Structure 1
Amino acid sequence: MVDDHENKTIASETRAWANILAKNSRQFLESDNDNSQTALSSELKKLISTPLINRIHVYRLNEDSSIEYFSSYNKNHNFPAISDKIAQISQLSTIQYDENYLELIVKINQGQHTLGYLFIQSSLLEKQSFIKKLTYIMLSFLVFALIIAFGVSQWLFNKTNQPIVKLIEDVGQISQSKDFSIQLASQPYKELDILAKNINVLLLRTDKHINRIIDEHQHALSQNQALENRLSARTDALKESNQELLSTLEKLHEFQGQLVETEKMASLGDMVAGIAHEVNTPIGLGVTASSLLADKLNEIKVSFEDKTLKSSQLKKFLTDGVENVSIIFRNLERAAKLISSFKKVAVDQSSAETCTFNVHGLLDEVLLTLSAKLVSTNVTVSVICPEDLNIKSKPGPINQILINLILNSIYHAFEGLEHGTITINVMNLSDQLHINYSDDGLGIDNSVKAKIFDPFTTTKRGSGGSGLGMHLVYNLVTQALDGHIVLDDEPEHGVCFDITFPVELAAT
């Protein structure tokens, strides 16, 4: 019996032959020609060029799933036909070993469709006989070669031992003394003499190479010293440049802080202008009504002094007086509310203290403060916020954030539009206050979106825009409120900001 390694080799060759023959058998199984069986048998004889294969069977799979014998191949008359292996297809799907041969069945496929099966039987004796012959030949050749090599080596050793020993000693002395200018003497044998001459050439080149390395080393030392001097000079210059850069950067940060404060005061100035305009109307109406009431009062006084006062005249004066006093009261009350709201918002803006407040009330105060701006620009603000939402946080930064966002929409988003809508949606989820701010304005250009929160980013460069509004909003959200703000890219029109920061719910 052959060993396991030889079995694996024969099995590998058998499987390779089975796949090749199965591939070449497909066209005959698909053919409806009556001579396809004979043609396949002839084709198998042409293809099989190895004595390893004893027998081949080809079975066809019919449409009714039945399997029938189709064609076969036998190596010679010493290998008579055997019974079909249809009943053993499942068993022989893996290689099965016998004492003198192995057997295997593989599928004949056309794409995903199975046309039939190919049975192959390979001899284990042919390979064993070939391997044994090859082994005997190799052993004989090896023994002969060893004998020849031993004899030649003995002869060469005897002939060349002394000159070689002398040559080795001379090379050893040169290596020990490291004087490569020494040359070896001529040798009695041509080959050794050539070797000695080549060694002399090598020694000469080695000596030149060592001298060149020494010179290059000295040159490299001088170059390194010069490089170190230049590097030291450049390092000193770089330190000075870095110091200047740090100083400039520190000044830039101071300047940026001043600009941010200026931006805060600018937004506060806008509110002051709006409040002044809004307060002017009710106070003007109050002044007009009080002047009219004073005139009427003088008329009544004159009539009373002249004793020409009529009851109808007094009744009309009382009616008009009540109406004028009502007008004066309503307008003064409206002005007082505006001033109170502005006062509260202005104080909150300048304060970063934590306190408890109602979110809906805070939004109402901001919108009341900006009502003049909103009315003059025809902008509607829709607020979605629970009225009983009380939180503990910093109202100042929230005020500043909302005012900056609303003013930004008024100045940029609704420029040139007849009407605009701003939506502010507020909710509390998992101790986080979520503010979704959106408008239906012109939107933000794609070239600006990526740097919307960077300082000095503005679309109104040269037209009064400082480019610090959204940078201020970003700093207030991330630093003062310890939250985060994201610009949503999804809306087709306008902008949408998602602001989230931690808060603590307060008892209502």
Structure 2
Amino acid sequence: MSQGVILCVDDDATVVRSLRSLLGGSVGDFDIEIAESGAEALEIALELEERRQELVVVIADFIMPMMRGDELLIRLHQIHPNALSIMLTGQSDLEGVKKAINEANLYRFLEKPFDSDDLLLTIKSACNAYQSERAVGLHNAQLNVLNVELEEMVSKLKIQQEDLTRSEAKATISTLVASVSHELVTPFGNGVLTADVLVELTRKFNQEMENGQLTRSGLRRYVDSVAEAATLIQRNLRRAGDLLANFQQMATDQASECRRTFDLATVVGEIVDTMKHRLRGKPHSLVQNIEPDIVMDSFPGAIGQIVINLINNAYLHAFEGRANGVFSIDAHLQGDSVHLTFTDNGVGIASDHMAQLMKPFFSTKVGRGGNGLGMSIVANLVEKVLDGTITVKSTVGVGTTFYIVLPLAAPH
């Protein structure tokens, strides 16, 4: 099967015949096309475009009647933008060369009379460079497909979010969307950066091969570098896949009232991870001390909502005007119940506010980031969804602790 087409263009019939003879059987599975004028070369290029055949390399004479080589290469580049160009001439025209470099993807400039071996090595090197760029292009296309799939997922989640805006308890799905989008920047960015390095390594490798400077140790370094780059790309794509898998599970939990069996430390850890990028700029710390192997048969979406609301409440209210705040989440098993405590070393809650703390629409910051629903939602989820209890103790100037007790298995 043909890997593409190499097009030779020269107004000297003797030259094109020698080029055909030189290339025949020497450049692998590439078709060879011959043209004796710029107009004929353009016709061939258009026919290739109609047949969806790839034009890989163009070898063109610089001085030709009717249409100069640099002008031809520029027009061919408009039809086949990925094709690499090699220009042949017996005259020096630096302006024409500069124009071809800038506008026609010029790969190399060879003066006549050219050495056959040198020309053949240049053509092979150009073919290798073209295939390397195509491989990187396919990789980038795969990344684009993954990005499209992610955008489609985010679009579907936005539709779900619009349906759930009537319930403040379900609105945290927007936080998950923003968080996973932020966290995916790193693996995707690393993957693209590694692909760019791979392109540059391949370019240098081709240059050494073209100049006859390639050594066994150089080949070994290139193979090792390609293997390392492939491993890095694979690792980052897997990291992105893991993030998406975790995100899908959390989004499902938040967007539905799904009951399932889960490990408490894992669910809380995933929720905290999604909030990290929002909390990084804050001068406070978040500590988790959850007893391992607490396996619950309950509603992870509700527990996630409780964790998010209590963290937001502490960062919005408890740490106002303070630096180096500490918010800790602790959990341990006691019989058939799970005991959770959420503690901050913040400003505390005034005694006249304690009685109203769990009431809807009560907030000391209405219009300044608070809507008065956060704590009432927490109480509703604990008591009505999870069949648990919640109590609060607070000392002004010292801090606040929320005590939540939940059954290991939520009632049916």
Give the shorter-chain TM-score range: 0.5 to 0.7
> Is the counterpart of residue 476 in structure 1 residue 374 in structure 2?
no
Q: In the alignment, which residue of structure 1 is the partner of 2:180?
A: 275
> C-alpha distance in 1, partners of 2:353/2:318?
14
- 2:279 partner amino acid: L
Q: In the alignment, which residue of structure 2 is the partner of 1:405?
A: 310
> Is the counterpart of residue 366 in structure 1 residue 278 in structure 2?
no
In the superposition, relative to structure 1, how do residues 409 and 330 fare at CA in structure 2: closer, same or farther (>3 Å)?
Answer: farther
CA contact (8 A) 1:352 1:480 kept: no
In the superposition, relative to structure 1, how do residues 332 and 442 fare at CA in structure 2: closer, same or farther (>3 Å)?
Answer: farther
Q: In the alignment, which residue of structure 1 is the partner of 2:113?
A: none
- TM-score using structure 2 length: 0.54
CA contact (8 A) 1:386 1:427 kept: yes
- Higher helix residue share: 1
Alignment of 1:114-125 (within 5 A): none
- 1:390 partner amino acid: V
Q: In the alignment, which residue of structure 2 is the partner of 1:351?
A: 256
Q: In the alignment, which residue of structure 2 is the partner of 1:485?
A: 390
> Is the counterpart of residue 264 in structure 1 residue 181 in structure 2?
no
Alignment of 1:190-229 (within 5 A): none
In the superposition, relative to structure 1, how do residues 337 and 377 fare at CA in structure 2: closer, same or farther (>3 Å)?
Answer: farther
Q: Secondary structure of the equivalent of 2:326?
A: strand
CA contact (8 A) 1:482 1:502 kept: yes
- 2:259 partner amino acid: T
> C-alpha distance in 2, partners of 1:330/1:368?
20
CA contact (8 A) 1:477 1:501 kept: yes
Deviation at 1:492, TM superposition (A): 4.9
In the superposition, relative to structure 1, how do residues 475 and 302 fare at CA in structure 2: closer, same or farther (>3 Å)?
Answer: same
In the superposition, relative to structure 1, how do residues 284 and 362 fare at CA in structure 2: closer, same or farther (>3 Å)?
Answer: same
- 1:389 partner amino acid: I
In the superposition, relative to structure 1, how do residues 494 and 268 fare at CA in structure 2: closer, same or farther (>3 Å)?
Answer: farther
Deviation string, structure 1 residues 19-78 (Cα, Å, up to 9, x no partner)? xxxxxxxxxxxxxxxxxxxxxxxxxxxxxxxxxxxxxxxxxxxxxxxxxxxxxxxxxxxx
CA contact (8 A) 1:414 1:420 kept: yes
Aligned with residue 384 of structure 1, among 289, 296, 308: 289
After TM superposition, the structure 1 stretch with the greater mean CA deviation from structure 2, 291-300 or 416-425, is: 416-425
- 1:493 partner amino acid: V
> C-alpha distance in 2, partners of 1:285/1:258?
35
Give the root-mean-square deviation of aligned CA atoms.
Answer: 2.7
> C-alpha distance in 2, partners of 1:487/1:260?
28
Q: In the alignment, which residue of structure 2 is the partner of 1:308?
A: 213
> C-alpha distance in 2, partners of 1:329/1:298?
22
- 1:304 partner amino acid: M
CA contact (8 A) 2:195 2:229 kept: yes
- 1:453 partner amino acid: M
- 2:170 partner amino acid: K
- TM-score using structure 1 length: 0.45
Deviation at 1:453, TM superposition (A): 1.0
Aligned length: 248
Deviation at 1:370, TM superposition (A): 1.8
Q: Secondary structure of the equivalent of 2:382?
A: helix
> C-alpha distance in 1, partners of 2:176/2:364?
22
Runs (5+) with no aligned partner, structure 1 = 1-256
> C-alpha distance in 1, partners of 2:363/2:254?
23
> C-alpha distance in 1, partners of 2:320/2:302?
26
In the superposition, relative to structure 1, how do residues 269 and 349 fare at CA in structure 2: closer, same or farther (>3 Å)?
Answer: same
State the 4+ residue runs in structure 1 displaced beyond 4 angstroms: 257-260
Q: In the alignment, which residue of structure 2 is the partner of 1:495?
A: 400
Deviation at 1:341, TM superposition (A): 2.0
- 1:261 partner amino acid: S
In the superposition, relative to structure 1, how do residues 357 and 490 fare at CA in structure 2: closer, same or farther (>3 Å)?
Answer: same
> C-alpha distance in 1, partners of 2:317/2:391?
19
- 1:451 partner amino acid: Q
Q: Secondary structure of the equivalent of 1:407?
A: helix
In the superposition, relative to structure 1, how do residues 397 and 468 fare at CA in structure 2: closer, same or farther (>3 Å)?
Answer: same
> C-alpha distance in 1, partners of 2:325/2:240?
26
Deviation string, structure 1 residues 347-406 (Cα, Å, up to 9, x no partner)? 111232332111111122112222222333244322222212212122121111111111
In the superposition, relative to structure 1, how do residues 342 and 496 fare at CA in structure 2: closer, same or farther (>3 Å)?
Answer: same
- 1:321 partner amino acid: V
Runs (5+) with no aligned partner, structure 2 = 1-162
CA contact (8 A) 2:389 2:404 kept: yes
In the superposition, relative to structure 1, how do residues 282 and 346 fare at CA in structure 2: closer, same or farther (>3 Å)?
Answer: same
Q: In the alignment, which residue of structure 2 is the partner of 1:428?
A: 333
> C-alpha distance in 2, partners of 1:418/1:454?
29
Higher relative contact order (CA 8 A, sep 6+): 2
Alignment of 1:31-110 (within 5 A): none
Q: In the alignment, which residue of structure 1 is the partner of 2:75?
A: none
Counting aligned pairs with the same residue, the percent is 33
In the superposition, relative to structure 1, how do residues 492 and 441 fare at CA in structure 2: closer, same or farther (>3 Å)?
Answer: closer
Aligned with residue 441 of structure 1, among 342, 346, 356: 346
Deviation string, structure 1 residues 116-162 (Cα, Å, up to 9, x no partner)? xxxxxxxxxxxxxxxxxxxxxxxxxxxxxxxxxxxxxxxxxxxxxxx
CA contact (8 A) 1:358 1:390 kept: yes
